[in-house]
Amino acid sequence: MATLADGSDYSQSMLTVDRETGNLTVSRPVQAGGEEIKKDGIWTIFVYLCGSDLESQYGAATNDMVEMMEASASDKVRFVVQTGGASEWNNEAVNKKKLQRFVVQNEDIELVDEVKEASMAKSNTLAKFLKWGVNNYSSEHMGVILWNHGGGSIGGICYDETDNMKSLSLRDVDSALLSAYSKMSGKFEFVGFDACLMGSMEAANVLASYANYMYASEESEPGCGWDYTSIGNFLAQNPSTNGLELGKEVCDSFKKGCEKIGDGDIVTLSVIDLSQMDSLLKAFNTFAKNMYETSADTSVLSSICRKIEKADNFGGNNKSEGYTNMVDLGGLVTGCRSYAEGADAVSSQLEKVVAYKVSGKNHKKSSGLSVYYPLCIQESDELSTFSTVCVSPYYLSFVDRQDCGSCNEGNTDSYDEDYWWSGGDSCGWYDSCSSVDNASDDALSAAIGDNSSSDEEEIWCWFCDYEYDEEDECYRSNTNKNEHWNYVDDYKETGESKKITFASEPAVDSDGIFGFTLDDNGLKNTEDVSAQIYEVTENGKEALELGETYDVDVDWDKGQIKDYFDGYWLSLPDGQNLATYIVSVDDNEVVYTSPILLNGEETNLRMIQDKDGKVVVEGAWDGIDENGAAAKNIIKLKKGDIVTPCYTSFSLEDENSEEKEWEGEGYELRKASLEINYDLLAAGDYMYSFRIDDVFHDYLLTDYVTLRVDKNGKTSIYDE
């Protein structure tokens, strides 16, 4: 432990892995020691209310402040709220040009402090609020709520509309909480995210140092958010309750509120017992080590990737809605059970960590915690950010093993021995002659403490060097970007993966069935097979992408793939086919999304099709924006809305032309619901192609075959 300029002791979270044994050791911050908390029985909930467009466009933050005021009067319950981060506020109490602090108690709201405007997406802004709050409103029970958009383990939380929608990363949250925690004498009872996608293992690892419980959702949260009236009422009636019981009320009231507005199917919310997290991290590291080692065999790697692809995922993860790359931890582990020892231990510990959870029918199998997994990589910064929050060097190396294919065709042997385990970088084996993330020797020694081995070169460190800013009285991260991941920016999908090879090339057989057979090399490198459907325009000059289908017969044992496309598709009542992309698939239903214009604004139509073919429209959802923030509001359709289908198109006359956007005809809803047809395609010409994804984030698109659908709906392949 090092002593800082202000006289306080420096201590922070530290994960270390001994290279020889592979075992993970966890160290948590040691508090400098604040004033002993009085046993006053009071609950104080600090709400970091970053309004953003949720407030300026929808008034959601104002609504939640009203909900707090409508809770039962009690001297034992108070919400201490900081407002900011929105270009406009839908009430007269909040001044958008300042950061303001309010106390909501006994059905009243009082402005108690205000400071100059600052970005809510900066760690020192959060740190100052929490330190001020703990100094002025310390009580026996204290909780923290971060309110805003969420973007998962990579996107972070609290997107500030007045600061170009920048957000707090998990490392920012870590430094802010460390700043407050160093002056406290105990942990927060809970830290919660009233935001999308923050219920991850990476987030829980950060919070485990500072709180007893985490409240968070794996999935996107519907726009209604948490029910603050119910939370306040529960605490007024049960002031001696603990974080677990309060968390159950938060979950139950949230789910009830979502069901009331018709969004109950997508709900997830969990209460995470953070005292159990270290055991989960150790079990997961052991499992990840085995997964990494067995996946050195590419055929095992491809099998593992196929299983993970089938796990529940959150926030869209498709071409239409964007990618969060957040996958259910339980689903990932269960899918890999046959390939890596230690899965049962992770599953068992996960059940202990998830103390309580609720979920709608769309996520019946969700475990309660997600984990980052690269379903689709957007840029190097994404993986660089992940390297700062990943909890195991083996899992990070498993991720790297897939993505290094983009620069090295998956051949890790061409790197130095154990290529990832080179010292000196933020996620490598610690080299005693260098520093991790440029950390000072004192800080690093304090963090490692007695966990250092006799040979320091054999230690991997999860560590972020924090420097104390005396002016702001908070810690700031000195972590540098890891240059290792730059290869992602130089890589482009080709659509012509050389990893996919055939025993028999894609062709139409004598029975008119389109298919192919992978050879051993192709099979071990193939992650997934789907089909792409295109509609040929009436003039025959362009093809409109109708999206993807799993109407594909795949025999993974023999490597044989055939189409069994039946000619059925989703369409509007006026007969226009929709471009559809799959969100999730299980035994009972398929969730689709389709790009549309709703009253002239770009968005996506969310639809659920059951096993009998019946389709229900959930509403419209904007998906993931360019900053990584998940849209919170699911827009309900109403009579008079104009729905215009959108497509990606390409020229059939000029093979060198670029793809472009194509709009269909507007369809006006005649009632407050939209009926989607699942019927045979209209008569005309269509094109069918197999998309074969390899395990290294490239794919092969086979040559198209042309389908003819006649007036009776019969589908046949043209003779070439």
Range 406-409, long-range pairs (CB < 8 A, 24+ positions): 406/487, 406/488, 406/491, 406/696, 406/697, 406/698, 407/487, 407/490, 407/491, 409/498, 409/499, 409/696
Task: Give tens-digit pLDDT for 390-446.
Answer: 999 889 888 888 765 444 444 433 333 333 443 333 334 333 223 333 344 444 444
Task: Name the residue among 586, 436, 405, 458 with its Cα closest to residue 21.
Answer: 458
Q: Report DSSP state, residue 361.
A: G
Specify the higher pLDDT residue, 182 or 43. Answer: 43
Range with lowest mean pLDDT among 215-219, 254-258, 479-483: 479-483
**pLDDT score recorded for residue 459:** 65
**pLDDT score recorded for residue 720:** 55
CB 528 within 8 A of CB 693: yes
DSSP three-state, residue 583: strand
Element (H, E) at 143: strand 141-147
Q: What is the mean pLDDT of residues 335-339?
A: 96
**pLDDT score recorded for residue 492:** 79
Specify the higher pLDDT residue, 419 or 189. Answer: 189
Q: Average per-residue pLDDT in the chain?
A: 88
Q: What is the mean pLDDT of residues 44-73?
A: 97
Assign 296 a pLDDT band (cuts: 50, 70, 90).
confident
Q: What is the mean pLDDT of residues 515-533?
A: 95
Element (H, E) at 596: strand 589-598
Amino acid at position 320, single letter: S
Q: Which two tokens stand for residue 551?
A: 């109407």
**pLDDT score recorded for residue 487:** 77
DSSP three-state, residue 132: helix
Range with lowest mean pLDDT among 19-28, 81-90, 551-560, 600-609: 19-28
CB 204 within 8 A of CB 192: no
For 417-472, the three-class secondary structure string (H helix, E strand, C coil) is CCCCCCCCCCCCEECCCCCHHHCCHHHHHHHHHHHCCCCHHHEEEECCCEEEECCC
Assign 367 a pLDDT band (cuts: 50, 70, 90).
very high
**pLDDT score recorded for residue 671:** 93
488 — phi, psi (to 5°)?
-60, -40
**pLDDT score recorded for residue 608:** 92
Task: Give tens-digit pLDDT for 84-106.
Answer: 999 999 999 999 999 999 999 99
Q: Does the structure show a pLDDT above 90 at 342?
A: yes
Q: Does the structure show a pLDDT above 70 at 502?
A: yes
Assign 339 a pLDDT band (cuts: 50, 70, 90).
very high
Task: Name the residue among 170, 212, 208 with its Cα closest to residue 188.
Answer: 212
Q: What is the mean pLDDT of residues 216-239?
A: 96
Q: What is the mean pLDDT of residues 354-364?
A: 94
d(CA 526, CA 136): 59
Assign 370 a pLDDT band (cuts: 50, 70, 90).
very high
- Hey, which residues does 474 pair with through a beta bridge? 469
Assign 33 a pLDDT band (cuts: 50, 70, 90).
low
Element (H, E) at 305: helix 298-310
Task: Name the residue among 584, 567, 571 with its Cα closest to residue 678.
Answer: 571
**pLDDT score recorded for residue 454:** 38
- Give, in order, the Cα–Cα distances in Å from 79 to each of 73, 183, 221: 12, 21, 21
Q: Which two tokens stand for residue 695?
A: 């395990």
56 — phi, psi (to 5°)?
-65, -35
Q: Does the structure show a pLDDT above 50 at 661?
A: yes
CB 188 within 8 A of CB 212: yes
Q: How is 551-581 classified by DSSP, letter by letter?
A: -EEEETTTTEEEE---SEEEE-TTSPBPPBE
**Residue partners of 194: CB distance under 8 A and separation at least 6:** 64, 145, 146, 147, 148, 221, 225, 226
CB 136 within 8 A of CB 616: no
CA 512 to chain centre: 42
- Hey, which residues does 617 pair with through a beta bridge? 607
**pLDDT score recorded for residue 714:** 81
Element (H, E) at 129: helix 123-137
Assign 697 a pLDDT band (cuts: 50, 70, 90).
confident
Task: Give tens-digit pLDDT for 110-144.
Answer: 999 999 999 999 999 999 999 999 999 999 999 99
Task: Name the residue among 270, 272, 268, 243 with its Cα closest to residue 258.
Answer: 268
Amino acid at position 197, single letter: L
Q: Does the structure show a pLDDT above 80 at 109?
A: yes
Amino acid at position 693, single letter: D
DSSP three-state, residue 355: strand
**pLDDT score recorded for residue 34:** 64
Task: Name the residue among 564, 595, 589 with its Cα closest to residue 577.
Answer: 595
**pLDDT score recorded for residue 377:** 82
For the entire predicted model, the pTM comes to 0.92
**pLDDT score recorded for residue 344:** 97
